Chain A
């Protein structure tokens, strides 16, 4: 059986490393001071107090910093509050600091409000609880399905043993070729996104994290497909843009579906 500290540590996995270290150090101090579970609450309750304390210290809508006015961010992969920027109906800004790297991304919540699909106060902390748990489970594992598709396509392309055209001129003539093993690069990227996206989480992040994981894994799948279609047919590289555009629709679809179903279910009750 895992210790109290281990259980709290697991529940705080998404916190930035320095915050998590500080919180666990103070938990050790509490235990050494003689605090018991009766004083601290259950591991989940203690972790909830930590998350609550730190949620009030920063505004997740603010970026980590900026370079000549362009926001930069590194906390997206580890901080659910930062990821929540992509679905923030109460934030009227369409463009918000992106979750990782330099620049901006789209706040799908603000877009939905502008389109009149919902009002800012239609969505709250409990909205996602109206979703059928089976749909939440399916969403959580969707990134793995995209990665599996990417793996099947990528490994098949690699085993064909043919060079892959990676750049063509305007007339469709190949300018650059890569080794067959290059077909495994999008597979690795998709796998990384899939593992990250299907990790357990809570709150709205149960929708946001898998959506981002599916978007990344889906992009990997699209690139693997473009490579597969182009082997022996370099003129098809250019037509891969349509596939990339389709991959870009994965994120709004993975957010729009659960939001639509949750709001519909809530209104019916």
Chain B
């Protein structure tokens, strides 16, 4: 059950994590999956990440482009749109506020 709770928590913040990854530069899906996998607690399967990318695209938070690859088939690159940058700023503030409040609560209850 604890694993389920962690999975639900992680799922909720994955979108923000993807927006954060795309802040610095555009990436293709495989890169995003690998970058998340390199961060303990945020690793997610391709089966979870690509649907989230679809949702971010239809929500207008990311823009996409197909580009030829030197090492194989073409790749779809994802980059933050203006709305995505704004959502990242809002999400970051909300996340920090939440973490601060929750940390205080958990410290008191320990």
Contact = CB atoms under 8 A, between A and B. Distances in A.
B54 A22 contact: yes
A23 B29 CA distance: 13
Contact of B51 (A18, A26, A34): A26
B51 A33 contact: no
A26 B29 contact: yes
A52 interface: yes
Contacts of A45: 47
Given A32-B73, A32-B75, A57-B59, A26 B54 contact: yes
Contact of B58 (A22, A35, A41, A52): A22
Contact of B50 (A18, A19, A26, A52): A26
B46 interface: yes
Contact of A30 (B29, B55, B57): B29
Interface of B: 28-30, 33, 45-48, 50-55, 57-59, 72-76
A23 to B, nearest CB: 4
A30 B50 CA distance: 7
B76 A29 contact: yes
B54 A39 contact: no
27 contacts: A22-B54, A26-B29, A26-B51, A26-B53, A26-B76, A28-B76, A29-B29, A30-B29, A32-B74, A33-B28, A33-B29, A34-B72, A35-B29, A35-B46, A39-B45, A39-B47, A40-B45, A40-B47, A41-B47, A45-B47, A49-B47, A49-B48, A50-B51, A50-B54, A53-B51, A53-B52, A54-B58
A149 B8 CA distance: 49
Given A25-B76, A53-B52, A18 B47 contact: no
Interface of A: 18-19, 22-23, 25-30, 32-35, 39-41, 45-46, 49-50, 52-54, 57
A144 to B, nearest CB: 34
Interface of A is mostly: helix
B47 A57 contact: no
Chain A CB within 10 Å, residue with most, of B29, B46, B53: B46
A57 B59 CA distance: 8
B64 to A, nearest CB: 8
Contacts of B72: 32, 34
A33 B53 contact: no
Contacts of B30: 33-35
B58 A27 contact: no
A87 to B, nearest CB: 26
B55 A40 contact: no
A26 B75 CA distance: 10
A164 B94 CA distance: 66
A266 B34 CA distance: 45
Chain A CB within 10 Å, residue with most, of B55, B57, B72, B74: B55
A46 B47 contact: yes
Contacts of B51: 23, 26, 46, 49-50, 52-54
A40 B57 contact: no
Given A26-B51, A33-B46, A57-B59, 18 more contacts: A18-B58, A22-B58, A25-B54, A26-B50, A26-B76, A29-B50, A30-B50, A33-B29, A33-B30, A39-B46, A39-B47, A40-B50, A45-B47, A50-B51, A53-B51, A53-B52, A53-B55, A57-B58
